[in-house]
Amino acid sequence: MLRHTPIAHAAYHDLLRLLKDEAASGLRGTPTSLSRNGRTYWYDSYRIGSAVRKTYIGEDSPQLRARLERAGALKAEAEARRRERARLVRLLRAEGFMSLDQGTGSLLNALAKAGVFRLGGTVVGTHAFRLYEGELGLRYALDDTAQTDDIDIASFEHLSLALDDRTDPPVEEVLAGFRFDPVPAIDNRQSWRWSQSKSGTLLEFLTPAFGEESLRPLAALEVRAQALHYLNYLIAEPLHAAALYRSGVLVQVPRPERFAIHKLIVSTRRPEADRLKIGKDRRQARVLIEALAEDRPDDLLEAWQDARSRGPRWCTRLDQALEALPDLRALLEGLEG
């Protein structure tokens, strides 16, 4: 298994830290916390005329609280931080890290500025897999990262509603600026798929299904999303990731151990004729499982046991995928010993 150098791995995590600092440096008012359903969320509360506006910052954590306490100093350091981020991106490119192409990078950057990832949006699919290069310090082979024009963003419906905040500008306005059209082109607010005619890029919004796999609203993003089974497992407790475009873009991705197990399940849900995508799903699962078994075996074991504890349907799909991957089955089962 090929690895990036320790210097490159450290540079990536420095870039990620600076992007998180940047996100906490833009306070316009006073940080305030609100509790909902046993969770605590932080908001930036400020006045516009006689009205009080609350902008969502993030879910409570010791790291976020520490950044909010330093918000003033972080704002003062903005220019030095931007220069350092640009230097780190140059270093990572020189070390062989994959950059986003201009089209994908500019779109994700615009969505990030609008608040899509701050409000719970999580990049899933091959674009998420590519971003584990920095998290895990891996060097991917070409076949592992075959580029896809599709961009998939998932979020929980109930979280999107509970946050009581909206993207600014609205997602449909951002997409219109990049010449994306809704598919089908009936009503942008009813669309969950958007297509860019000049490039063929397809952007899809997804959400976990707790029942029928139907279209559901994502209130914070003001779009509809296709509900899918098994997605609740994938996007629980997502991680921040740094995408290499300009001086870095802060996005969210699933935890790599959940992504790997979910890819095994997804490979069994595709039509048998879709052999290329089935093969890609299983290659990506293999790369991550082998890396995590070395570096984070406890995380991988927890994700494996969590999936298998969710009922016979989950176990059947995992067993079906692993019939073709007996060495991965032995590796996963060996974690339990």
Residue pLDDT, tens place only, 105-131: 999 999 999 999 999 999 999 999 999
pLDDT at position 278 is: 92
**Average pLDDT for 134-145:** 83
The residues that bridge with 122 in the sheet, in sequence order, are 154
CA distances (Å), 132 to each of 28, 117, 140, 220, in order? Answer: 33, 17, 10, 26
Q: What is the reported pLDDT for 258?
A: 98
Residue range 83-109, pLDDT digits in tens: 999 999 999 999 999 999 999 999 999
- Which percentage of the chain shows pLDDT scores above 70? 96
56: nearest Cα among 109, 122, 116, 16: 116
Element (H, E) at 12: helix 6-24
Look at residue 160 in the predicted model and tell me its pLDDT: 83
Q: What is the dihedral of CA 251, 257, 262, 263, to 10 degrees?
A: 90
What is the dihedral sign for C-alpha 135, 298, 154, 203? positive
Q: Are 53 and 47 in contact (CB under 8 A)?
A: yes
Exposure of 6 by Cβ count < 10 A (0-12 exposed, 13-18 middle, 19+ buried)? exposed
Q: Tell whether the torsion through CA atoms of 90, 122, 104 and 126 is positive or negative.
A: positive
Phi/psi at 243 (nearest 5 deg)?
-95, 135
Token pair of 48 as six digits: 């516009």
Look up the pTM and report it: 0.92
Residues 6 or more apart whose CB falls under 8 angstroms from that of 83 comprise none
In angstroms, how far is CA 295 from the centroid of its own chain?
21
pLDDT in tens, 71-85: 888 888 999 999 999
